[in-house]
Amino acid sequence: ATQLVANAESTMALQSPPMTLQLQPRTRRTAATTYALFVVFGVGSWVTVNAMFTELPLLVATAPEGWRLASVLALTVQFANVGPLAFYVARRWALHRYPETGDAIVAAVTTYVVMALGALAMGALVFCWDATWMFGGTEHSAPLIALTFLAAFADCTSSLVFWRFAGGFRPLFVSALAAGEGTSGVVSSALAWLQNASNEQPRFSPSVYFALLAGVMLCSLAAFHALRCAPFALAERMAPSSDQPSADADDRPLAGAPPAMVGAGCDGDLYAALCGKASAGVGGAPGESAAARPLHSASALGIEADMVGQVSTGDVVRCESGAGNSRTSSVRCLSREAIWLLMLQAWLNVLQNGVAVSCLSLAAQPYGRGAYQVAQTVSLFVDPLAAALGFRLRAGAWVLLPVALAVTATHGYILALSLVSVTPPLTVPEGSGFGAGAQLLVLVVAVGRALTAYSKMRVNVLLQEGAHEDGEYRLMVSGVAIQTGAFAGSLVMYLLINHTALFRGGS
């Protein structure tokens, strides 16, 4: 009988091949490949919205709104924050319905959907970027505005799900995502330079421009899929511990999965949620299914219950009940330092997405059409450089205060130039070339964008490093702060530009 049982077990093992992949060891090559994939993935975060403003010199030539189109599109982008709200509602519903698996499934599916929507919006603009509709006896660029909303719906939601995904990896890859997000501006600007968008006779039409951007979105989608599935990328995931995560923590194993095994076709978290392979994983009892433990609970992360909610700074002032189930529940807390960083993140996006986006086209008007194009392009090129190179400049949370003041000053200059009551300095007669005033504007815009990109990246790194176990949650909250600041800034600037006489006209 014993022999028959052994034979039966052997037969079952042969008939059921394991659905696992061997993790590759971490090397410089795997880290570099993962970094590159994160950059390509990050490009898909804001490339579509950046493209709308980079292409603005050609769009306003046919748009009935003229140069005021910039403020209209800026507000449209911020109304697309219903995307993050929809994600939040879906996430809460999934956690209520499927406490163990809902969070991971919703986050993964949402990421795929928003990137597909971005590609769809760019593809549709190929055919109707210059179409206009009549509303109330007035002509409007309705298809352009509607598809900008669709693209922004995807991009705004990416601020939550992209950073949340990066929170499961080492801080190095948080920097990579920041560089990729900045590179989205480089990609759109590079295509605009090839197009020669600042001239009345471009090398190719906006239709070709938007078709190329649809292809870029598909490449970013492929990079995300690789980051979820490739064994070398999964090996770069960061296991939580009671110590602060370090940028040099190269030897930590994949979080939420057995040390030598991950599910084929899904990342560690989703593998645990969907596949439910039995293992003696981190924090679990021998033989306990990974899916039997909440993905963000204390037991799933190998941390004692009384450690949940503690932060390295110790001074806890804001707590939020996390999702739990019958087995366990968690409390997430934020320190005073974390709250300061989130407030700073919101303010930086008030300036970048409110003041700069809405006012730059008006501030550049006295210097000619080319001044806007150069300022926009240069700022988008310095963004990823500042985010990537700035990773080695390890400024603390409170050191970022003077940097924030400098950012505020540069954006104050842009705001002042867009006012009717301000005489722009160093102007030259029309047709005299790129004068000193235009050069000064470009310099101010570039410095402001570089400091903003560095500060936003550093805020996210500090938030992740300050978390004991839930860096993904903190970076998701940072995404909420980003979108809140952007919406507030864009709404205020839209009202001021379009409903007061303080700013230059759009003609």
pLDDT digits (tens, 9 = 90+) for 117-175: 999 999 999 998 888 888 877 888 888 999 999 999 998 888 778 888 887 888 788 88
What torsion, rounded to 10 degrees, do the Cα atoms 252, 257, 262, 263 define? -150
The least confident of 28-37, 103-112, 236-245 is 236-245
303, 320 contact by CB (below 8 A) = no
Dihedral sign (CA 54, 60, 63, 66):
positive
Indicate whether 2 pLDDT > 80: no
* Residue 179 binned pLDDT confidence (cut-offs 50, 70, 90): confident
pLDDT at 135: 80
pLDDT number for residue 333? 65
Amino acid identity of residue 185, one-letter, is G
Say which amino acid occupies 210. Answer: F
Please check whether residue 183 is in contact with residue 43, taking contact to mean a CB–CB distance below 8 angstroms: yes
Average pLDDT, the chain: 74
The rounded distance, in Å, linking the Cα atoms of 269 and 295 is 7
Distance separating alpha carbons of residues 199 and 487, to the nearest angstrom:
32
Q: Please tell me the predicted confidence (pLDDT) of residue 115.
A: 92
Q: Which residue has the tokens 């597909």?
A: 116
Element containing residue 134 per DSSP (H, E): strand 133-135
Cβ atoms 50, 188 nearer than 8 A: yes
Among 202-216, 294-308, 383-397, which stretch is predicted with the lowest mean pLDDT? 294-308
DSSP characters over 266-303: S-HHHHHHHT--B---TTS-TT-BGGGS-TTSTTTTT-
Across the range 220-229, mean pLDDT stands at: 91
How does residue 479 score in pLDDT terms, banded at 50, 70 and 90? confident
Burial (0-12, 13-18, 19+ Cβ within 10 Å), 119: buried
The token pair at 348 is 């930086």
Which residue is listed with tokens 């748009």?
63
* Nearest by Cα to 498 from 184, 8, 70, 6: 70
pLDDT at 53 over 50: yes
Residue 220's pLDDT is 93
* Residue 267 pLDDT exceeds 50: no
Helix (H) or strand (E) holding 335: strand 331-335
Residue-wise pLDDT for 274-333, tens only, equals 333 333 333 333 333 333 333 333 333 232 333 333 333 334 444 444 444 433 344 456
Q: Is pLDDT above 60 for 214?
A: yes
Q: How far is CA 273 from CA 26, 99, 170, 277, 327, in A?
A: 25, 10, 22, 9, 16
DSSP three-state, residue 487: helix
- State residue 283's pLDDT score: 35
Per-residue confidence (pLDDT) for residue 467, from 0 to 100? 58
Cα–Cα distances in angstroms (integers) from residue 196 to residues 70, 85, 147, 386, in the given order: 19, 38, 23, 26
